[in-house]
A and B are shown apart, each in its own frame.
Chain A
Amino acid sequence: QKEVEQDPGPLSVPEGAIVSLNCTYSNSAFQYFMWYRQYSRKGPELLMYTYSSGNKEDGRFTAQVDKSSKYISLFIRDSQPSDSATYLCAMVPSNAGGTSYGKLTFGQGTILTVHP
């Protein structure tokens, strides 16, 4: 079983829809949770970053972390065709000093298409 599980989709939605992307994980040591967006033939770019449990909002994007359920989500409101990309969840444990070595563990990525 993989440490991080993510439904690869593909997911196709109409413009304006609310999109929900999810990941589950098994390693309780994970403390930092991220969502990366990757356009076709490009490198991933950081979209959202959350430490421990809770919600974080940035414009049309909301990231949620539920450590008790080992479940993280990314919501996209009023989705746009420009949101069409692969979305990767990633997480990293924290060492005893509260910082990490940056060894990200990624989900498989969900391919999202928003059609006009």
Chain B
Amino acid sequence: DAGITQSPRYKITETGRQVTLMCHQTWSHSYMFWYRQDLGHGLRLIYYSAAADITDKGEVPDGYVVSRSKTENFPLTLESATRSQTSVYFCASKESSLQETQYFGPGTRLLVL
């Protein structure tokens, strides 16, 4: 199906482990985003990308790494997971700088023990 997908949908890991969350979109949208959603904070931007090989920090980038070698993929890596990174992670995309509508994926629920 076309759209934006995330994998895995659920992940349990341990403190100190490296974890990679995957995001894939089939629209060839230029922009892609990673958010985390926590109670009391709404969604907060972690990283975003305006095009392949162009990424920049959002509001809460510490402890996360992103890459975008292909337009359709935007993986998010937690280099050494901490309990504070337990959250629901959403990937989103938008077509271009002229369009403001962001389309969100279904989310990945991450639990760090």
Contacts and interface: CB of A to CB of B under 8 A. Distances in A.
Interface of A: 4, 6, 8, 32, 34, 41-46, 49, 88, 90, 92, 99-109
B104 A45 contact: yes
Contacts of B43: 44, 88, 90, 104, 106
A80 B35 CA distance: 29
A39 to B, nearest CB: 11
A32 B100 contact: yes
Interface of B: 31, 33, 35, 40-45, 48, 50, 58-59, 90, 92, 94, 97-98, 100-107
Tell me which of B58, B102, B104 has the highest count of chain A C-beta atoms within 10 A of its own C-beta.
B102
B102 A99 contact: no
Tell me which of A44, A49, A90, A109 has the highest count of chain B C-beta atoms within 10 A of its own C-beta.
A44
A100 B97 contact: yes
A33 to B, nearest CB: 10
Contacts of A4: 42
B31 A102 contact: yes
Nearest to B9: A41
A106 B105 contact: no
Nearest to B100: A32
6 contacts: A43-B104, A43-B105, A46-B102, A88-B42, A105-B45, A106-B43
Contacts of A101: 31, 48, 50, 97
